[in-house]
Structure 1
Amino acid sequence: MSYTIRPEALPHPARPAAPRWPNGFADRLTAPLASFREVVSVLQHGGFRTNIGDADQIPVYRSGLPRPAGTEALITWVGHATYVLQVGGLTVLTDPVWARKIPGIRPRLTPPGVAWSDLPHVDAVVISHNHFDHLDAPTIRRLPKDTAIFVPARLAAWFARRGFRNVAELDWWESARLGEVAFTFVPSHHWSRRTIWDTCKTLWGGWVLTAGNRRIYFAGDSGYGHRFKEIGIRYPDIDVALMPVGAYEPRWFMKNFHVDPDQAVQACLDVGARRMAAMHWGTFVLSGERLLAPIEETRQAWAERGLDPADLWDLAIGETRMLS
């Protein structure tokens, strides 16, 4: 199913459309969620404790945001799962988090790679799911209310309550268009929860952005599984996959919903992407691996497969690459 999103044409949020979603999406889970006992066990055994002594070695390159010339497409890593995508004449933010602190964890280790004041007009935002490290209310409040927002099923109401007037709410494999860019919501192996009462009430996934002959895949959060190959079959010729590589230890606890670096590289191959850009590391402490392990192990997994080093975009926070 496809939609066109135009600020002047959408209904007022006070007049919601008839519901077309189920009450929840637990049936979309690939694996059961962790039990309360398992959560207590991992906390008791220090599974999320990470020594942050290496934080000063996380590369940060904060020199402003370059602007594309002509039809160039630029990709800039802000930190965690936040990218600035300048493609198809639009500026798009992925899972924007500029906050210094999110609930439940220590403050961010590194500053956002792009200052908020350096951003051009933001045309669109894509949200992968509603976890606090991907949907940050203080950052969202900084956006104009007519910003085009693309969200998973049953998440539009969260934005409507905050006054946003231009929200496209999609199921897996559905698409919307803004200007020259098509936004397609695709599956992932993950889950959703914002409070203790709303587990899996909203959907989760990734996004494929297509602008002319350019295609970018933003994976959001995901464990490893069959859906990556499905995405590659439906959307061939992906230029770059923005893949999470961190938050994977302890493995027995994280494996169903977060890829490890080796799996991230394999997932990139599964979707058929020409390049991989790493994310979801070096910003927040969410798990038990060493701070630098995600990018070190990603480089190792890439090299072990004999892949071209130039096609692994192991970006510094704030670094920009151009899609040729």
Structure 2
Amino acid sequence: MTKILDLDVPHAYRNRPHHVGGRFRSPPGGHHDGRHSSEMAKVLWELFRHGNDPVRGAHDHCLQRDAAMAELAAAQAEQSLTWLGQSCFYLRLGDQRILTDPFLGERASPLQFSGPRRLVPAPLQIEDLDVDVIVMSHNHYDHFDAPTLARVKNKENVPVVTTLGLRADFIRLGYRKIVELDWYQTCRIHGVHYTALPAYHFSGRSLWDADQTLWASFAIEGGGVKCFFAGDTGYGDEFKRIGELTGPYDIALVPIGAYAPREVFAGVHASPEEAVSMGKDLKAARLVGMHWGTVRLTTEPFWEPRDRFLAPGSGPQRRVMKIGETRAISSL
């Protein structure tokens, strides 16, 4: 049984203020959540009409399968990071191979014939990856992809580090080693420390289960590397607290897409500039942009997240990877 410990956090979090009437809520200090405004209907209509339209040049930021496999094999002995699209990373720390928010399917949807479709194919499939631990930030379809999770090799022996309320979903998929964490709780598996941290977001896989399971960001530390994985989040004051309590970080994986229009999504998705501010607050040396260029969930132009994130300015070193690309962490 994996031991779960509470971090020494300010008194307010010891009282679990994000637990409210059987549901969860984001921490204070974020933007207004405008998803229930009249503007949301316009966004949904626009995505229904054009959300799966092809994007000129989109394949240029995705490696072909042979190249992706070659880079993965070449980094076997290194601390390395492979981006597989959206918030899905294959992270090697020490001798551990960690998969975050697995999404390698064709659609981010409960339906395989409808809903947001990948604009570029996944160059690697789950069968190509040996996985020691899965980290799951929340249950949205572009993060918790059940068809991908169902095909993980030896899944009954793969530990899952996730948030409160998701145990039953993993059991249904055949997993047996599930650790649920609340914010500011930590555990250690095979020499790697995993700490669940707050995020500004929401959860749900249907119209009837809104916010009944928790969402989180994570600190992952092992092999001499400390990594922050944001999962999916807006920007707010809590990241300064996270940086003070758990920083600094060698690398932070931060979301840079799915932010427009701001009057709708500012409360739950950071803009590229806010992702940089998040990295500063976390005291991260290097940032890697994620949660963009994979499926179209909002209305900003396809390449805009990358261009704004990489625009000259102060702050941590920034990089955007190609889907399927593997980099040694030391070279990021």
Superposition TM-score, scaled by structure 2 size:
0.83
Once residues 237 and 122 of structure 1 are traced to their aligned partners in structure 2, the CA distance between those partners, rounded to angstroms, is 27
Does 1:87 pair with 2:97? no
- How many angstroms apart in 1 are the aligned matches of 2:119 and 2:132? 28
Q: Which residue of 2 aligns with 1:151?
A: 162
Q: 1: distance between equivalents of 2:197 and 2:24?
A: 14
Farther-moved stretch of structure 1 (99-108 vs 249-258): 99-108
1:157 Cα deviation (Å)? Answer: 1.4
Look up the match of 1:189.
200
Shift of 1:322: 1.4
Contact 2:93–2:223 (CA under 8 A) maintained in structure 1: no
Higher helix residue share: 2
Change (3 A) 1:255 1:33: closer
Aligned length: 302
**Are residues 46 and 130 of structure 1, via their aligned partners in 2, closer, same or farther at CA, if it must alter by over 3 Å?**
closer
Conserved? CA contact 1:149–1:167, under 8 Å? yes
For the structure 1 residues 27 and 287, does the alpha-carbon distance in structure 2 shift closer, same or farther, using more than 3 Å as the test? closer
Is 2:120 the partner of 1:114? no
Counterpart in the other structure of 2:36: 35
The share of aligned pairs that are identical, in percent, is: 32
- Secondary structure of 1:125 counterpart: strand
Q: Greater CA deviation, 284-293 or 46-55?
A: 46-55
Q: 1:123 to 1:133 in 2, by over 3 A?
A: same
Aligned in 2, Cα 1:45/1:61: closer, same or farther, shift over 3 Å?
closer
In the other structure, the counterpart of 2:3 is: 3
Alpha-carbon distance in 2 for matches of 1:213, 1:44: 47
Conserved? CA contact 1:21–1:154, under 8 Å: no
Distance in 2 between residues matched to 1:48 and 1:238, nearest whole Å: 41
Report the equivalent of 2:15: none
1:202 corresponding residue in structure 2: 213
Please tell me whether residue 127 in structure 1 is matched to residue 127 in structure 2. no
How is 1:226-245 mapped onto 2 (pairs within 5 angstroms)? 226-245=237-256
Give the aligned partner of residue 24 of structure 1.
Answer: 23
Match of 1:105 in 2: 115
8 Å CA contact 1:55, 1:282 repeated in 2:
no
1:289-308 to structure 2, matched below 5 A, reads: 289-300=300-311, 303-305=312-314, 307=315
Q: 2:276 and 2:27 mapped to 1: Cα distance?
A: 24
How far off is 1:46 after superposition?
A: 6.4
Instruction: Answer with 99-108 or 160-169: which moved more.
Output: 99-108
CA–CA distance in structure 2, aligned partners of residues 216 and 109 of structure 1? 28
What is the SS of the residue equivalent to 1:172? coil
Match of 2:328?
A: 322
C-alpha spacing 1:323/1:83, structure 2 compared with 1 (3 Å): same
1:266 is matched with: 277
Q: Secondary structure at the match of 2:242?
A: helix
Amino acid at match of 1:152: T
- Any unmatched runs of 5+ in structure 2? 6-18
Amino acid aligned to 1:135 = F
SS at match of 1:145: helix
Give the drift of 1:291. Answer: 0.6
Contact 1:246 1:260 in 2 (8 A): yes
CA distance in 2, matches of 1:148, 1:75: 20
| Cα separation, 2, equivalents of 1:21 and 1:165 | 29
Q: Match of 2:13? A: none
**Residue 141 (str. 1) matches residue 145 (str. 2):** no
Rate the CA distance shift 1:211–1:48 in 2: closer, same or farther, 3 A.
Answer: farther
Q: Does 1:59 align with 2:66?
A: no
Per the alignment, residue 8 of structure 2 pairs with: none
Encode CA deviations 1:157-211: one digit per residue, 9 max, x unaligned.
1112223110000100111111110111110011111111111000001111011
Unaligned segments of structure 1, at least 5 residues = 6-19
Return closer, same or farther for 1:149/1:39 CA change in 2, 3 Å cut-off: same
TM-score normalised to structure 1 length: 0.85
